[in-house]
Chains A and B, each alone.
Chain A
Amino acid sequence: MVLQSLYFSALLLATLSGVPGLAGSARGGRVASWMLTGSALCALGLAGSVLYGGLAWQAELRWALPGAHFLFRGDPIGTFILVPATLVPAILSFYAEGYWSDGAHADTAPGLRLFFGVSVGCMILLTAAANAVLFLFGWEIMAILAFLMVTTSDQDAAVREAGWIYLVASHTGALMLFAGFALLALGTGTGFDLGPMRPGFASTSAGTAAFLLLLGGFLLKAGVGPLHVWLPGAHAAAPSHVSALLSGLMLKMGILGILRIIAWTPDPPLWWAGLLTGLGAASGIMSMAFALGQKDLKRLLAYSSIENVSVIALGLGLALAGKSLGLPALVLLGGAGALFHLLNHALLKPLLFMGAGSVMHATGTRDLERLGGLARAMPRTAFLFLAGAFGICALPPLNGFAGEWLIYLGAFRAIQPQGWVWAVVTLASLAVIGALTVACFTRAYGIVFLGEPRRELGGPAHESPRSMTGTMAVLAGICLFIGLFPAALGRALQAAAGDLGPGLPPLGGLAGLGALTLVAVIGIPVGLAAWQAIRKSPSSRSITWDCGYAAPTARIQYTASSFSRMLTDAFRWLLLPIERVPRIQGLFPRETRFQSQAPDTLLDRGMNPAASFVASVLSWLRFLQAGHLPIYLLYVVLTLVALFAWTLQ
Chain B
Amino acid sequence: MIRTLARPALLLLAQMVLTLVLAPLLPGIVNKVKALFAGRVGPPVFQLYYDLARLLRKGAVFSRTTTGVFLAGPAASVAVPFTAALLVPMGGATAPVSFAGDAVVLAYLFGVARFFVVLAALDTGSAFEGMGAAREVTFAVLAEPALFMGLATLARLSGGPSLAPMLTAAGQGWRAAGGPLALVLTAWVIVFLVENCRIPFDDPNTHLELTMIHEAMVLDHSGPPLAAVLYGASLKLWVLGALVVKLCLPHRGTWWIDWPAFLGGMTLLACGVGVVESIMARLRMRRVSQALIAAVVSGTFGFLLLLLA
Contacts and interface: CB of A to CB of B under 8 A. Distances in A.
Interface in B132-187: 133-135, 137-138, 140-145, 147-149, 151-152, 155-156, 160-161
A119 B63 CA distance: 48
Given A546-B128, A567-B141, A535 B134 contact: no
A428 B149 contact: yes
Contacts of B144: 431-432, 434-435
Chain A interface helix/strand/loop/mixed? helix
A277 to B, nearest CB: 15
A447 B111 contact: no
Nearest to A554: B125
Interface string A272-310: 000000000000000000000000000000000000000
A359 B86 CA distance: 40
A619 interface: no
A458 interface: no
B291 to A, nearest CB: 15
Nearest to A412: B161
A401 B100 contact: no
Interface string B73-88: 0111011101100110
Chain B interface helix/strand/loop/mixed? helix
B102 to A, nearest CB: 7
B67 A382 contact: yes
A558 B135 contact: no
A565 B135 CA distance: 10
B140 A534 contact: no
A393 interface: yes
Interface stretch (A58-66, A318-326, A349-357, A536-544): A536-544
A543 B125 CA distance: 10
Contact of B145 (A432, A439, A542): A432
Interface stretch (B26-34, B222-230, B276-284): B222-230
Contact of A424 (B64, B74, B152, B209): B152
Contacts of A534: 60, 71, 74-75, 224-225, 227-228
B263 interface: no
B125 A565 contact: no
Interface in A407-464: 408-409, 412-413, 415, 417, 420, 423-424, 427-428, 430-432, 434-436, 438-439, 441-443, 445-447, 449-452
Given A393-B111, A512-B100, A566-B135, A535 B141 contact: no
Interface stretch (A77-85, A211-219, A496-504, A523-531): A523-531
Contacts of B205: none
Contacts of A566: 134-135, 138
A395 B101 contact: no
Looking at B62, B71, B127, the one whose CB has the most chain A CB atoms below 10 A away is B127
B72 interface: yes
A417 B307 contact: yes
A563 interface: yes
B300 interface: yes
A412 B157 CA distance: 12
B220 to A, nearest CB: 5
A445 B133 CA distance: 13
Interface in A355-404: 372-373, 375-376, 379, 382, 386, 390, 393-396, 401
A435 B79 contact: no
A537 B71 CA distance: 11
A451 B125 contact: yes
A243 to B, nearest CB: 24
Nearest to B122: A446
Contact of A544 (B97, B100, B126, B289): B126
Interface in A519-578: 519, 522-523, 526-528, 530-531, 533-535, 537-547, 552, 554, 556-558, 562-567, 570
B52 interface: no
B22 interface: no
A511 interface: yes
A393 B115 contact: yes
A489 interface: no
Contacts of B138: 439, 566-567, 570
A539 B209 contact: no
Q: How extensive is the interface on chain B, given as a class? A: 35 or more
B13 interface: no
A174 B116 CA distance: 43
B148 A427 contact: yes
Contacts of A510: 100
A307 to B, nearest CB: 13
Contact of A540 (B56, B61, B71): B61
Given A442-B119, A526-B82, A531-B71, A562 B134 contact: yes
Contact of A375 (B67, B79, B102): B67
B75 A442 contact: no
Contact of B155 (A393, A395, A412, A557): A412
B141 A539 contact: no
Contacts of B112: 395-396
Looking at A393, A534, A546, the one whose CB has the most chain B CB atoms below 10 A away is A534
B220 A544 contact: yes
A546 B155 contact: no
A421 to B, nearest CB: 10
Contacts of A439: 137-138, 140-141
Contacts of B59: 537-540
A396 B60 contact: no
Contacts of A428: 145, 148-149, 296, 300
A451 B303 CA distance: 43
Given A428-B296, A552-B125, 15 more contacts: A412-B160, A420-B307, A424-B300, A428-B300, A446-B119, A446-B123, A450-B69, A451-B123, A515-B105, A523-B83, A530-B75, A541-B63, A545-B63, A557-B127, A558-B131
24 contacts: A393-B115, A395-B112, A409-B101, A409-B104, A427-B149, A431-B147, A432-B145, A438-B114, A442-B122, A446-B123, A450-B67, A451-B122, A515-B97, A515-B99, A523-B79, A537-B60, A540-B60, A540-B62, A543-B64, A544-B124, A544-B220, A558-B133, A562-B134, A567-B141
